[in-house]
Structure 1
Amino acid sequence: MLTKALNHFKKNDPILYKVALMVNITGLVKPEDPFIDLVETIINQQLSDKAAATIFGRFKKLFPEEKITAEKLLKIPDEKIREAGISYSKIKYIKGIAQQIKNKKLNLKNLENLSDEDVINELVKLKGIGAWTAEMYLMFTLARPDVFSAGDLGLQNAIVKLYKIKQKPTRERLLEISIKWSPYRTTASRILWRSLDLK
């Protein structure tokens, strides 16, 4: 997949291809438990990578042997989770999802059989999940190859920097730019995020 993606960029976008050779991107591995991944994505909303990693690390320590499950999460007092650095609104969201899983109203494994669009439509029905969280879930939990999150600030900044765009691009313009990376927009996104670390 990675080789095919790089060959595609080499042909269709020399700028992105050049950056791809400068950053280290590996293949995506699907996580074992989609619930843990979804909880982490919600916790990470609007946080820098460093802050997100610290807070999620503290959150994991609240569980015996750091094994996160919906049932165990529901038993932890909100105040304890708040002490890990997670806002009360996010606590409400992750516990709401945990409750739905416990009540068998939600089965995240079933999402694997849906199209990208249908996964987004199902996820945004859950409180605390917007388009960005659903797109991250598609990229990193379901390892879907052709996802681009036009609302992601990091991707916007990387595109402005790499393509020397003067004005902040509109959502439509970003999607237009991303078309040349299809069907490998997930890999393109990962390259763009990594490009922000380049001097």
Structure 2
Amino acid sequence: MSISKSYRLTPQAPYRFDYFQKRVENSSNSYLYSIGENALSRAHIIGGHPVLVHITLDTPSTPNAPVIRLDVQGAHSDARADQAADIWRHMLSIDRPLLPFYQQAATDPVLKTITSDLSGMHLLLDSSPFESTILSIIGQQVNLTFAENLKRSLVELCASSIDVNGSTHYAFPSPEQIAALNYEQLRAMKFSQRKAEYVIDFARGVANGSIDLHSLQGMSNAEAIDYLIKLRGIGRWTAECVLLFGLGRPDLLPAADIGLRNAIQHFWGLDHQPTEQEVREFAVPWRGHESYFTYYLWTALGLARAAQKQQTVTPKAKRKNSKNMAERDKE
């Protein structure tokens, strides 16, 4: 017998749920969610069964201090419902107040402006280190659209779903489900041979216990990265993604990341792209919140480039776009 259970989440201000939802909408993982107005739903496998979590803004709520209602449906016990709620507390960064990070950022004029502009933006985390690793492996060396197609095909192949109010919600597969697949099944869905092997072999290691992801919790960043990169198909970039988005480590510095290096060059007006070592030296004042500084700089650079691209649209192109929009309005 399944049960339903509701929770009320009150993250410390500032907290912008709309930033989180926009991030979901623009992510290559958006296929995992059902998205509504100030509402998100997603299924998870809890205790071997699919469970649906639905979140909405409750009242009273303000943009910087929302009250979030979390409803769990299909859980087989109170404990399983609590487990689903805990997953979302992690994904939504509910228990990670931003004020200490903002106080640290306030010592640098550039970072003070960026954090002010993006105030309330929290890390969007994956539901588990396993999910994060699989998603990162799939995303290696392919564009976002192709990555999303591969991810979606894997989820639909394993076909764990729950039907609620006439809608079907697919859950990200468990290690055991992916471990039961063969390489040819993924090759038929346009996975490369190596990517198919990396995904299935990793899942088999987690399923049989030879890969212990729970042990990562007790490791330092360096120890966890060293553990992960020994596994086939996982390089430093993937390992850093797992620590940042899977475990939610606040102090991870992906110093070799091109996006971070470009952001530092852009916002501090450097005459060259900083090297990995220069990034490490530059980021010494960020200690303790390196993940947040990185996340904010990635976001701010994306927004700056989008604005710059918009400004470079020629007057002729603007007129053409306006004409096209007017014609569509008539249809």
TM-score strictly above 0.5 = yes
| Pair 193,48 (structure 1): closer, same or farther in 2 beyond 3 Å | farther
The aligned counterpart of 2:89 is: none
Match of 2:158 among 54, 63, 66: 63
Superposition RMSD in Å: 2.1
Check 1:110–1:29 CA distance in 2 against 1; reply closer, same or farther (3 A cut): farther
Matched residue type, 2:221: D
Which one of 104, 114, 119 corresponds to residue 8 of structure 1? 104
Aligned pair partner of 2:132 in 34, 37, 53: 37
User: SS at 2:256's partner residue?
Assistant: coil
Q: Which residue of 1 aligns with 2:249?
A: 144
Q: Deviations over 1:73-122 (max 9, x none)?
A: 13333233234443221211122211212322112111111111111111
How many pairs were matched up?
A: 198
Report the Cα distance in structure 2 between the residues aligned to 1:128 and 1:100, rounded to whole angstroms.
13
Aligned partner of 1:131: which letter?
Answer: R
53 and 164 in structure 1: CA distance in 2 versus 1, 3 angstrom threshold? farther
The answer to whether the Cα contact below 8 Å between 1:25 and 1:191 also exists between their aligned partners in 2 is no
Q: Secondary structure at the match of 1:140?
A: helix
Shift of residue 33 of structure 1?
3.2
Q: 1:195 to 1:30 in 2, by over 3 A?
A: closer
Greater shift, 96-105 or 81-90, is seen at: 81-90
Residue identity over aligned pairs, in percent, reads 28
Aligned partners of 1:74 and 1:98 also within 8 Å:
yes
**Matched AA of 2:103:** N
SS in 2 for 1:106: coil
Q: Does residue 1:157 correspond to 2:262, yes or no?
A: yes
Distance (Å, rounded) in 1 between the aligned partners of 2:215 and 2:249: 15
SS across alignment from 1:169: coil
Give the structure with the higher percent helix: 1
The AA in structure 2 aligned to 1:53 is: E
Q: How big is the shift at 1:20?
A: 2.1
Which protein has the bigger strand share?
A: 2
Q: Which amino acid aligns with 1:62?
A: L
Q: 1:86 aligns with which of 179, 182, 191?
A: 191
Letter in structure 2 aligned against 1:35:
F
| Amino acid of the structure 2 residue aligned with 1:155 | L
Q: Relative to structure 1, is the Cα distance of residues 84 and 155 closer, same or farther in structure 2, using a 3 angstrom cutoff?
A: farther
Larger radius of gyration: 2
With a CA cutoff of 8 Å and minimum separation of 6, indicate the structure with the bigger relative contact order: 1
1:40 is matched by which residue type in structure 2? Answer: L
| 1:30/1:141 contact within 8 Å kept | yes
Q: Which residue of 1 aligns with 2:210?
A: 105
Amino acid at match of 1:4: P
User: In structure 1, what is the Cα distance between the partners aligned to 2:223 and 2:240?
Assistant: 11
Q: 1:158 to 1:55 in 2, by over 3 A?
A: farther
Alignment partners' CA distance in 2, 1:50 and 1:18: 32
From 19, 28, 39, the counterpart of 2:114: 19
Q: Distance in 2 between matches of 1:2 and 1:147?
A: 16
Aligned-residue offset at 1:30: 5.6
Instruction: Map Cα deviations across residues 40-81 of structure 1 (whole Å, 9 max, x no partner).
Output: 111112344454334322322221124412222133332332
| Residue of structure 2 aligned with 1:128, choices 233, 238, 242 | 233
Instruction: Give 3-state SS (helix, strand or coil) of 1:61's partner.
Output: helix
Q: TM-score, normalised by structure 1?
A: 0.88
